[in-house]
Structure 1
Amino acid sequence: MAEMCDSKEPGDPEEEIFGGQRVKKKYTGLLRSSRSLPECLTRAQLPLLLLLISLGFFMLLVTILVQVGVSQELTRSDLEEILQQLTWMNVTLAGLCRPCPWKWELFQGSCYFFSQTQNVWKDAISACQNLRAQLVIISSTEEQKFLKSWNTRNNQRTWIGLSDHHNEGSWKWVDNSPLQLSFWKEGEPNNHGDEDCVELYSDGWNDNRCSVENFWTCKKPLSPCPGS
């Protein structure tokens, strides 16, 4: 009777090429189906999904071990084959998790959303809150350079989360923290025509009327992947 774990030559109909590796056909269907999940998965669904997939992979591994144990004792080639399957399972699981939502940019531990629409400053705050984020607070020179490069590349005036509309001349961020590090353009702020809100434009900051419609940038911490 033929062995159940006989090695196969390349091109054998019981094997397929998956990601540049030879994988048994009975496993590739599961790997492909997990990679084809839609990008619109919400963060609330992701932990449960990962748990279910992990459970499925565990059951698959148990099945492999039982099949091998029934036919013969484990050999080195059997262990290498099982390790190969586990490696591809880990790659598939890792591909399901992103530290930032789709269409957000990752930079130094934070996620940034650059709007494609324009709003007045107050509505920009609400838009970011609806995304469980804040209108961006700039806390370092590196962060300013990152935002400036995006802003310059797209030639946009962009609201940031800074204003003095509560107390003229007392600049505060949307989390009510006082301004400490600033990147004002030359001659700014000048409060020309009741300008109480701050926009990022070209190479620095400019105060502008809060009723002006600008693009806006949201910021929130990244979400670590399970097990990271």
Structure 2
Amino acid sequence: MIGYLRGKIRYKEFLESSKSSSRKDGLIILEIGGVGWQIFVSPLTLEKINISSSQKEVELFTYLYVREDTLELYGFLNVEELKFFKKLIQISGVGPKSALGLLGVAHLKDIKEAIREGDPSILTKVSGIGKKMAGRIIVELKEKIQDEGLKRQDKGGAIVETIDALISLGYKAEEARHVLREIPKSFKTTEEKVKEALRRLGGR
């Protein structure tokens, strides 16, 4: 598996994604040791790459898409975009071109925020993603993205401990995660979080 490439850009272009869409995918050829690797990138990635000098090296995290008659490389400037791309293509009906297209219509943090809020407007900007598919993406990824936020907040392990405590009291893991997302950051310790979670759960 090819996961990372570093080399000099020898060629770039924007590709029309479809006749009905003004959005364009990006394509670059990265030279490494005298060999040119053709890599698909999002238009936002292509805009960020500075190719004013042919001597400038570019680093890309890559995903190799393999099918019976297809070998395609997709490139990303950071691991976060690569991980999100992988999550997208695991969803039934979402191919690599659509996943890359989504990363080209907005910044990753804005896409995640739209999914977290259940807003399909950004997703449907991509050719091939209608309201039904956008809804499926939101359903598949909303909880995962919300859990990412919890993990970033859980520096001392209080969130994990709170979830475990609520499960031991008979609550489902999903209920525990849901109520924790509602608890303000001012509740820092496990004890504080558990008491507040129980108060909120008891009122439902």
TM-score normalised by the shorter chain: which range applies?
A: under 0.3
Instruction: Kindly name which structure, 1 or 2, has the bigger radius of gyration based on alpha carbons.
Output: 1
Q: TM (normalized to structure 1)?
A: 0.24
Q: TM (normalized to structure 2)?
A: 0.26
Q: Which one has a larger percent helix, Structure 1 or Structure 2?
A: 2
Q: Which one has a larger percent strand, Structure 1 or Structure 2?
A: 2
